[in-house]
Copies of this chain bind each other. A is one copy, B any other.
Amino acid sequence: MTLAELQALDRTDPLAPKRAEFLLPEGVIYLDGNSLGALPKRVVARMEQVVQAEWGQSLIKSWNLHGWIDLPQRVGARIARLIGAEPDEVIAADSTSVNLFKVLLAALELRPGRRVIVSDIDNFPTDLYIAQGIAELRGGYELRFVKKDQLEEALDEQTAVLMLTEVDYRTGYLYDMARLTRLAQQKGALTIWDLAHSAGALPVQLNRHGVDFAVGCGYKYLNGGPGAPAFLFVARRHQEATRPFLTGWMGHQAPFAFVPEYLPALDIRRLTVGTPGVLSMSALEAALEVFEGVEMEQVRQKSLQLTDLFIELMEPLAARYGFQLATPREHHRRGSQVAYRHPEGYAIMQALISQGVVGDFRAPDILRFGFTPLYLRYEDVYHAVQRLEQVMQSGLWQEARFQERAKVT
């Protein structure tokens, strides 16, 4: 496709107006929204409001006056719409890792006779680490971390929990959530899905697929800001039996009664712990307003077009310079990113970033490019590939390599 054709696509793109809702740096093509989403303009205004008017002027009264106390539920309800859940099944709190700790502990408690946790050895490390911490804490668990193609046979009658990240952070591989959930449940296991790379990136259907628990991240495709609060999902059928162990006052039935005995809240709030981080949670709330009126099917359609286009434009470079596509070509197995393997991946990415195309590198050899339909144009994809071609042709990446070696020695 020519640049003119792509510009024409941008003109008719129903999501095109959304780009104006973001503050983007001049001259940069940002292909790293899968790691840190760009800044929505309304966050700027909201932060001024919450810092200066709410905290500064109303001070402690803001907990009620400005609804700070309900932020975890309000933000959760906004996320619920994006992931196929009911508003009362999702709550914003803590970090993804801490939330996984909570739901994994709770899920194991619901399968007391079973001692196996199954996951993908290529899962994002924090997920595997959290499972290791829990296995040490509780004792007697087997961590069955296997390659993707061994997952199905790893599930058996001993499996308590199958925990997976829906989209592989390195390759962009998209799991079949419906099938894996069904297979796990057929063995009597519970499922925990980490939606770090899918919430806000593609339509997620937790309830349609009967998922038990989920966690996810606020700072990637949801654009909530660096280290934004995370979220967790508990299917309504499990909420009453879901036992909290990280029992903080915000998860109490009556936090302001200040009684010495812990009694879990009757709803999903029982999985909150300490005082919510109002500043960062307000930023996330404002960022989620950008999704108002957006259907995730629309986002998905554009995302696939963007990644298709990138793969297509990269074909000649891949052949000429040895980039190996690590992302599935099949739409139903692809998230909203494209990854290439290259032995000089680190240096190439450094050089590309210096030219204003921001992707990232994941050891040992992965160049990652994230595609965020709310603020990315078709023509950006064209220019990104063009600049990569220049980096390769000009040998600029070799300079980056030498600089890196100089730093190491």
- A contact set with B: CB distance below 8 Å: 23, 25, 28, 30, 32, 35-36, 38-39, 43-44, 47-48, 51-52, 55-63, 68, 94-98, 101, 105, 121-126, 128-130, 132-134, 136-138, 145, 219, 225-230, 243-252, 255-262, 273-281, 283, 353, 358, 360, 362-363
Residues of chain B within 8 A (CB-CB) of A28 are 59
* CB pair B39 A60 closer than 8 Å: no
A122 to B259, CA, bound (A): 9
* CB pair A97 B246 closer than 8 Å: yes
* CB pair A358 B59 closer than 8 Å: yes
Residues of chain B within 8 A (CB-CB) of A280 are 277-280
Closest to A257 in B: B363
Contact of A55 among B39, B52, B252 (CB under 8 A): B39
A132 to B260, CA, bound (A): 10
* CB pair B121 A260 closer than 8 Å: yes
In order of increasing CB-CB distance, the 5 nearest A-B pairs are: A95-B274, A97-B248, A133-B247, A226-B278, A126-B249
A248 to B230, CA, bound (A): 14
* CB pair A228 B277 closer than 8 Å: yes
Residues of chain B within 8 A (CB-CB) of A121 are 260
A-B contact pairs, 24 of them (CB 8 A): A25-B57, A25-B59, A28-B59, A36-B59, A43-B51, A55-B225, A55-B226, A95-B275, A97-B248, A97-B249, A97-B273, A98-B273, A105-B137, A125-B262, A128-B262, A130-B246, A133-B245, A133-B262, A137-B245, A226-B278, A227-B275, A227-B281, A277-B277, A280-B280
* CB pair A248 B130 closer than 8 Å: yes
11 more contacts with CB within 8 A, not counting A96-B274, A98-B246, are A51-B225, A55-B226, A95-B248, A97-B249, A124-B258, A125-B260, A132-B261, A229-B277, A230-B274, A256-B363, A258-B363
A3 to B57, CA, bound (A): 26
The smallest C-beta distance from A32 to any residue of chain B, in angstroms, reads 5
**How many chain copies does the complex carry?**
2
* CB pair B260 A145 closer than 8 Å: yes
Closest to A121 in B: B260
Residues of chain B within 8 A (CB-CB) of A277 are 95, 226-229, 277, 280
Residues of chain B within 8 A (CB-CB) of A130 are 246-248
* CB pair A226 B52 closer than 8 Å: no
Contact of A47 among B47, B226, B249, B251 (CB under 8 A): B47
Closest to A36 in B: B60
Contact of A39 among B30, B51, B134, B262 (CB under 8 A): B51
A47 to B52, CA, bound (A): 10
Residues of chain B within 8 A (CB-CB) of A274 are 94-98, 126, 227, 230
* CB pair B60 A35 closer than 8 Å: yes
Residues of chain B within 8 A (CB-CB) of A257 are 363
Residues of chain B within 8 A (CB-CB) of A249 are 97, 124-126, 129
